[in-house]
Structure 1
Amino acid sequence: MARDPIQVLDERAAPPARTTYYGDDPAQVYDVRLPERVTRRLTVVVVHGGFWRPEYDRGHASRQAQAFADAGYPTAVLEYRRPGMPGGGWPGTTEDIADAVTAVRRDPDLDQPWVLVGHSAGGQLVTWAAAQSWAHGIRGVVSLAGVLDLADGVEHGVGGDAITTFLGGRPADVPDAYAAADPARLAPAIPTLLVHARDDDVVPFELSERYAAAHHGPHVRLTPVDGGGHYGLIDPEHPAFARVLEAVDLLAS
């Protein structure tokens, strides 16, 4: 019997080399995974998805992160406060991403340059980061099946009520939040690679396609994947994961 792709959310790698706090909250931490031998001088910073919901934490990104470490990349997996947690939601969640990246950039085991890789809601967070002034010095970001148009996502029910819970309402209710958080409205200042399966039935491929069209230029590149759905991109055993490694390798080179 074939394995259900969503099972990847329940699978875990061995514990990380260490977990480091970047703030006072229990959720303000990142896990460090180091390769047996560093073969690529670039640190991969993983931002997990889960529609910003508190029940989905960095644990489900552990196998993905270990695969990056096994490929020779020092790797950090960020945790952050989500809606329903003290301080989570907008803007606390994005503030955590900024603070965590700052801490990673100071970590002596996680040498420069750095690449941010985010899946699903994590894709929104890394493309948001790509448009921030503090992103200078980051080699680039990779969005995996990212939620890259929040207003359209609300209209079409992407993630149920996840987007309105994250931002505090619909676009008409909190327009300033959408203006500041929605990747569709934010031009990236650093290279931004999008990897998205055409058969994704959780976050439509069209969100990445429209982002690439809206921000067309030398910074943005879309890599369509013919299969893999929403979860193949974070499953090291799925053929689609090879396209993720290719994107990271491209930024490394």
Structure 2
Amino acid sequence: MTECADASSNPRMRTPSLATLALLCLVGCDAPNPELSQTPPHARNETIPLLQWPDLLSRERPTTPHTIRTGPSETDIVDLWLPDGAGPHPVVIMVHGGCWQKSIADRRLMDFAADDLRQKGLAVWNIEYRGVDEAGGGYPGTFEDVSRAADALRDHASQFNLKLDRIGAIGHSAGGHLALWLAARPKLPKSSTLWRSNPLHIDFVVNSGGLADLDASAPVTQAACLNSIMEALTGTPSGARQDVLSDTSPVELLPFAAHQVSVNGEQDQIAPPILGESYTDKAIATGSDARFVLVPNTGHVELVAPGSEAFELQAAILLEALAD
């Protein structure tokens, strides 16, 4: 079900401005080394070339002076991108992709996006986590890491004058899965080792080219991105936990309270748009407040590349959702 993202049905969201609605309607209301590989030639739009990772990574990389430790491990780290001014600042949790594998990407892939959102007035809590290819990563370590990093936001909000009354999140690719999972944590069964008594409440999630439904994504995205690491990511079945997706895949935790917008590039080969559309349909069917936006002439990289139509669309959605 493809339609314009509309906040009117969620009392915690502002009604989008005419400019934002116009932008939403304009964009489509209706792999070997998978994340960093080039888009296959047959999938490219011949009139508007798709961005490739070197196009983004060759830009001058911004930096932030605010790096925060959230635990003893090397990956227990968050970069805070703070807007100018005294605040209070609306805040968005950012979760990077990379097929859940640190050999492919870490949080620095999102530096460009984080700095751009900072300049637009949003504080960005850009979190790190162990990949499945690192000691202790996968199940449950990767999920414990993102939980700890998200919950640590409360510990530092006062110091940096961050607003916690309405919290957003944006996750790209594998990070889309993890961002939605963070929002779904209140639905975790107490029997899960991932259950926590007081998880941070997340009000709004942009699932940016995300692999949110693990079962549906595995046969569709490139095998090295998910299928070949699925067992490491979700753990193995046991007598007490026969369904390994029950506490690791957001679709299994539906419905949950966060408003969700899945944004997909029409020509994305890592996260084909059918994944965002089908996840949204499942979310709506359970009563969740969810929307799907398809962006034409767009692949995987544009979603996190400031200046692209896809990125500016997502920035506008976040700004509207977190506005005073």
> What is the TM-score with the length of structure 2 in the denominator?
0.71
Query: Secondary structure of the equivalent of 2:294?
Result: strand
Which residue of 108, 111, 117 corresponds with 1:62?
111
Q: CA deviation at 1:168?
A: 1.7
Q: 1:171 to 1:116 in 2, by over 3 A?
A: closer
Output the CA distance in 2 between the equivalents of 1:251 and 1:183. 21
Q: CA deviation at 1:39?
A: 7.2
> Equivalent residue for 2:120?
71
> Equivalent residue for 1:192?
260
Q: Is the 8 A contact 1:124 1:148 kept in 2?
A: yes
Unaligned residue ranges in structure 1 (runs of 5+): none
Write out per-residue CA displacement over residues 131-162 of structure 1, whole angstroms, 9 at most, x where no aligned residue: 11155632211110000221122223x23233
Q: Is the 8 A contact 2:138 2:233 kept in 1?
A: no
Query: Secondary structure of the equivalent of 2:243?
Result: helix
Q: CA deviation at 1:40?
A: 7.6
196-205 vs 121-130, greater mean Cα deviation = 196-205
Q: CA deviation at 1:202?
A: 1.4
Query: Secondary structure of the equivalent of 1:215?
Result: helix
> Equivalent residue for 2:289?
219
Output the CA distance in 2 between the equivalents of 1:3 and 1:172. 35
> Equivalent residue for 1:229?
299
Which residue of 279, 292, 314 corresponds with 1:244?
314
Q: 1:168 to 1:3 in 2, by over 3 A?
A: closer
> Does 2:150 match 1:101?
yes
Task: Report the residue type matching 1:106 in the other structure.
Answer: D
Output the CA distance in 2 between the equivalents of 1:40 and 1:207. 36
Unaligned residue ranges in structure 2 (runs of 5+): 1-48, 187-197
Q: 1:22 to 1:160 in 2, by over 3 A?
A: same
Output the CA distance in 2 between the equivalents of 1:181 and 1:235. 28
Q: CA deviation at 1:177?
A: 2.1
Q: Is the 8 A contact 2:64 2:80 kept in 1?
A: yes
Q: 1:250 to 1:40 in 2, by over 3 A?
A: farther
User: Percent identical across equivalent pairs?
Assistant: 26
> Equivalent residue for 2:61?
13
Q: Larger C-alpha radius of gyration, 1 or 2?
A: 2
Write out per-residue CA displacement over residues 15-58 of structure 1, whole angstroms, 9 at most, x where no aligned residue: 21221111111111000111123678410111000111112111
Q: CA deviation at 1:105?
A: 2.1
> Does 2:178 match 1:125?
yes
Number of residue-to-residue matches in the alignment? 251
Which residue of 75, 78, 92 corresponds with 1:30?
78
Output the CA distance in 1 between the equivalents of 2:139 and 2:234. 13
Question: What do you get for the CA RMSD once the two structures are aligned?
Answer: 2.4
204-213 vs 9-18, greater mean Cα deviation = 9-18
> Equivalent residue for 2:243?
176
Query: Secondary structure of the equivalent of 2:218?
Result: helix
> Equivalent residue for 2:223?
160
Which structure has more relative contact order (CA 8 Å, sep 6+)? It is 2
> Equivalent residue for 2:203?
139
Q: Is the 8 A contact 1:45 1:115 kept in 2?
A: yes
Output the CA distance in 2 between the equivalents of 1:161 and 1:124. 16
> Does 2:134 match 1:85?
yes
